[in-house]
Amino acid sequence: MAQKHSKRFRKAAENHDRHKAYSVADAVKQVKEKASAKFDETVDLAIKLKIDAKQADQLVRGSLSLPHGIGKSMRVVAFAEGEMAEAAKAAGAIEVGAQDLVDKITGGWMDFDVAVAHPGMMRFVGKLGKVLGPKGLMPSPKSGTVTDKVAEAVAEFAAGKIEFRNDKEGNVHMVVGKVSFDADKLVDNINAAVQHIKSIRPQAVKGEYITGVYVASTMGPGFKISNQAEAAPAN
């Protein structure tokens, strides 16, 4: 069944060639011009990778602090005890605990964006695999959310550090800011995100790696970014 789009989306997509590739700066300009919602739309980046998502040695995941943040604070919970728990709370964690936090989440509470855990807490957190895993919220050393430096990680994620992981089709999606951002800040964030994904290319991936990069606002159409395009100064 064909996807139905809103009138706002259809209007924004008028005369839009989805196959045309833009420089980063021109793609950002298009996104900002086509954004028409009454709220400050999020700007999303999609990077299509030529990986086999079924192979563990080809998975792409991690965390990243963008040069200009993403325009929102993140709700972080921390699995920690004692002084470390107090430090995590002071750093901005909205909930801190061990088995009690596991019980709260198991009971249906999911009002958070990131979960950080001390390695010693994984004996508790492991019970949440079936709950947090499908939502992409399970703490992991690769994403920087299982760490000895719990308070530091809480502060970073609360300030807007983002987690990412490829989906089953091999695509990586991440927020790179808001439509209200200055164009040059969005350009910087997009370039930083793409360069980071390039830098963590799995060794098992041979040949072409990034096959497409697209940017869009929440309610707007997507714009393809040329693989060869370098960001020009935004006007």
pLDDT digits (tens, 9 = 90+) for 119-178: 999 999 999 999 999 998 999 998 899 999 999 999 999 988 998 999 999 999 999 999
- 13 pLDDT higher than 70: no
How do strand 114-117 and strand 162-165 relate by DSSP bridges? unpaired
CB 115 within 8 A of CB 104: no
Integer Cα distance of 96 and 78 in angstroms: 5
- 80 pLDDT higher than 80: yes
Integer Cα distance of 30 and 217 in angstroms: 10
pTM for this model (two decimals): 0.76
Helix (H) or strand (E) holding 29: helix 24-34
Q: Which of 105 and 230 is assigned the larger pLDDT?
A: 105
pLDDT band at 14 (very low <50, low <70, confident <90, very high): low
